[in-house]
Structure 1
Amino acid sequence: MKVYPSIKRIIDFILSLIGIIILLPIFLILAIIIKIDSKGPIFFKQKRVGKNKEYFYILKFRTMRIDTPKDMPTHMLENPDIFITKVGKFLRKTSLDELPQIINILKGEMSIIGPRPALWNQYDLIAERDKYGANDIVPGLTGWAQVNGRDELPIDAKAKYDGEYVENMGLIFDIKIFFKTILSVLKSDGIKEGANKAKVSSNNKNM
Structure 2
Amino acid sequence: MLNEVENSAATPRPPLIGTPRPRCAGSRAKRVLDIVLAAVLLIVFLPLMVVIGLAVAMSSSGPVVFRQTRVGLGERPFTMLKFRTMHRHASERPVDLAQADNHAGITGVDPFLAKPRHDPRITAVGRLLRKASLDELPQLVNVLRGDMSLVGPRPCPGGEHMRLSPEDRAKRVSVKPGLTGLWQVSGRSTITAEKAIQLDLQYIEDWRLPLDLLILLRTLPAVLRTRHAW
Please give the range of the TM-score, normalised by the shorter of the 2 chains: 0.7 to 0.9
- The answer for the alignment partner of 2:152 in structure 1 is 114
Are the aligned partners of 1:48 and 1:119 in contact in 2 as well (CA < 8 Å)?
yes
CA pair 88-185 structure 1, distance change in 2 beyond 3 A = same
- The answer for the alignment partner of 1:198 in structure 2 is none
Deviation of 1:185 after TM superposition, in Å, equals 1.0
Task: Report whether the alignment pairs 1:95 with 2:133.
Answer: yes
- The answer for the alignment partner of 1:153 in structure 2 is 191
| Residue aligned with 2:82, SS | strand
- The answer for the alignment partner of 2:50 in structure 1 is 28
CA pair 124-3 structure 1, distance change in 2 beyond 3 A = closer
Are the aligned partners of 1:34 and 1:87 in contact in 2 as well (CA < 8 Å)?
yes
Which runs of 5 or more structure 2 residues have no equivalent in the other structure? Answer: 1-22, 102-117
Deviation of 1:20 after TM superposition, in Å, equals 1.7
Q: Which moved more, 1:145-154 or 1:106-115?
A: 145-154
TM-score by length of 2: 0.75
| Residue aligned with 1:46, SS | strand
CA pair 118-45 structure 1, distance change in 2 beyond 3 A = same
CA pair 73-170 structure 1, distance change in 2 beyond 3 A = farther
Deviations 1:134-168 (A, max 9, x none): 22101100001212233333332221111110111
Aligned residue runs from structure 1 range 10-21, under 5 A: 10-21=32-43
Identity of aligned residues (%): 35
Which runs of 5 or more structure 1 residues have no equivalent in the other structure? Answer: 193-207
Decide which of 150, 163, 186 is 1:124's aligned counterpart: 163
CA pair 3-46 structure 1, distance change in 2 beyond 3 A = closer
CA pair 82-156 structure 1, distance change in 2 beyond 3 A = closer
Deviation of 1:4 after TM superposition, in Å, equals 6.4
Match of 1:65, as an amino acid? H
Q: 2: CA distance between counterparts of 1:151 and 1:19?
A: 24
CA pair 166-142 structure 1, distance change in 2 beyond 3 A = same
CA pair 3-116 structure 1, distance change in 2 beyond 3 A = closer
Deviations 1:47-106 (A, max 9, x none): 111111111111000011012126x89955736432111111111111110000000000
- The answer for the alignment partner of 2:107 in structure 1 is none
Tell me the C-alpha RMSD between the 2 structures.
2.5
| Residue aligned with 2:119, SS | helix
Q: 1: CA distance between counterparts of 2:26 and 2:81?
A: 26
Task: Report whether the alignment pairs 1:9 with 2:31.
Answer: yes
Match of 1:173, as an amino acid? L
- The answer for the alignment partner of 1:40 in structure 2 is 62
Aligned residue-pair number: 191
Deviation of 1:129 after TM superposition, in Å, equals 2.5
